[in-house]
Amino acid sequence: MAEREVRLADLAALIGGEVVGRGDALVRRVASLRAARSGDLAFFSDGRYRAELQATHASAVIVGLPERDATALPRIVCADPYLLFARAARLFHVDAPLVAGIHPTALVGPGAEIAPDAAVGPHCVVGDGARIGPGSALGPACVLGAGVSIGGGSRLHARVTIYAQCEIGPRAVLHSGVVIGADGFGYALDEGSWLKIPQTGRVRVGADVEIGANTTVDRGALDDTVIGDGVKLDNQIQIGHNVAIGEHTAIAGCVGIAGSTRIGRHCMIGGAAMIGGHLAIADRVVIAGGTVVTKSIDKPGTYVSVIPATPSREWRRTVALLRNLERMAERLRSLERRDSGREREK
């Protein structure tokens, strides 16, 4: 990461927002309110951190419109502080330049096509007929199966494995331990034992996708598993075979998505949510963390099925009531029938 020093007014011209206070204040890094020091740019978007805003040693901050006067520090005022902070962070964070070439310890199969300005790191394996686009980089010990295609400008961190015939679009980022194209979980019961169903589909990953560490995406049984353009996947997610995820959907860590489910565009799925198989999720659906989805969702909106943590005694009472709901509902129906009969008698 290289540091660059920028006047606050010049930074605002690049990322947006209105400068209040000294536009000539110099910033060269981004940091949290608590850790910031001279030369740092921080952001404030949550009232719970107001004390940290007052105590910060940052040279400047990004604040929301309602917080325009919440600090005397030089500041950029905007409608979405988190978004502008993200833009600023991208400007300050510069990756090390790519060193093109194939490491001597890498194994490259016959017929593989590697762009002259691509980088293949130590102990990588590039299968027969695989293609690596211009400006792409493979970290140490990555494995590409036969016929794999990697789009231009993509970055695979150490130990990424991509099974045969799968496709990764341009400008993708795959973090360490990602596995793309392992067999889907497909078996048929044959007289008491499990008969494996060959998984002959592929995985197709679109452009500008980022996939977190140790996330796995299974190949399709017949059709392909598809990850749309701009999708962002966190760490340790399991995506089953024949799943399709629409463009620009974001999924947090430890989510499990069972086979043949289709998730729409611009969805947000919270951590540890579980989504059953053969379901359809509409565009712009928000699923809260820990939610269990067992039925299709056909309308945009926010969906929650988890009970927040409560003291154990209260939780036991709640569970006892839940277990008795059916009996209580039947008693209620019985009372309603009796009252209805009395009304008719009158």
pLDDT at 342 over 90: no
346 pLDDT above the threshold of 70: no
- Please list the helix, strand and coil fractions of the chain in percent, rounded to the nearest 5, in that order: 20, 30, 55
Topology annotation, domain 6-92: 3.40.1390
**CA-based radius of gyration for the chain:** 26
Alpha helices in the chain (DSSP H): 8-15, 50-55, 81-92, 312-323, 325-345
38 — pLDDT class (breaks 50, 70, 90)? very high
**91-130 per-position pLDDT tens digit:** 998 778 889 999 999 999 999 999 999 999 999 999 999 9
Looking at domain 101-303, which CATH architecture does it have?
3 Solenoid (2.160)
pLDDT at 344: 66
Nearest to 138 by CA among 108, 94, 165, 164: 108
Is pLDDT above 80 for 224?
yes
Q: Let me know if 266 is a catalytic residue.
A: no
Average pLDDT in the chain: 94
Single-letter residue type at 178: V
Name the percent of the chain lying above pLDDT 90: 84
Rounded-to-integer distance, Cα 143 and Cα 180, Å: 10
Domain ranges of the chain: 6-92, 101-303, 313-345
Residue 338 in this model has a pLDDT that exceeds 90: no
27 in Cβ contact with 12 (< 8 Å): no
Tell me the CB-side half-sphere exposure of residue 223, using CA atoms within 13 A.
10
Confidence at residue 65, expressed as pLDDT on a 0 to 100 scale: 94
Q: Of the residues 123, 157, 175, 241, which is catalytic?
A: 241
Residue 152 exposure: Cα atoms within 13 Å on the Cβ side = 5
Quick one: pLDDT at residue 345?
A: 64
Is residue 296 within 8 A of residue 314, CB to CB? The reply is no
Q: Rounded to two decimals, what is the model's pTM?
A: 0.88
Q: How far is CA 316 from CA 91, 94, 160, 319, in A?
A: 51, 52, 45, 5
Beta carbons within 10 angstroms of residue 18's beta carbon: 11
Q: Write down how long the chain is.
A: 346
Check residues 13 and 307 and name the one with the higher pLDDT: 13
Q: Is the pLDDT of residue 56 over 80?
A: yes
Of 2-11, 23-32, 307-316, which one has max mean pLDDT? 23-32
Higher pLDDT, 326 or 291: 291
Task: Look at residue 142 and tell me whether its pLDDT is greater than 50.
Answer: yes
Burial of 325 (0-12, 13-18, 19+ CB in 10 A): exposed
d(CA 166, CA 149) in angstroms, rounded, equals 7
Q: What is the pLDDT of residue 1?
A: 41
Cross-strand partners of 227: 205, 245
Average pLDDT over residues 50-76: 95
- Token pair 């520090």 is found at 73
Least confident interval from 144-158, 252-266, 311-325: 311-325
The answer to which of 22-31, 41-50, 297-306 has the lowest mean pLDDT is 41-50
pLDDT grade, residue 3 (50/70/90)?
Answer: low
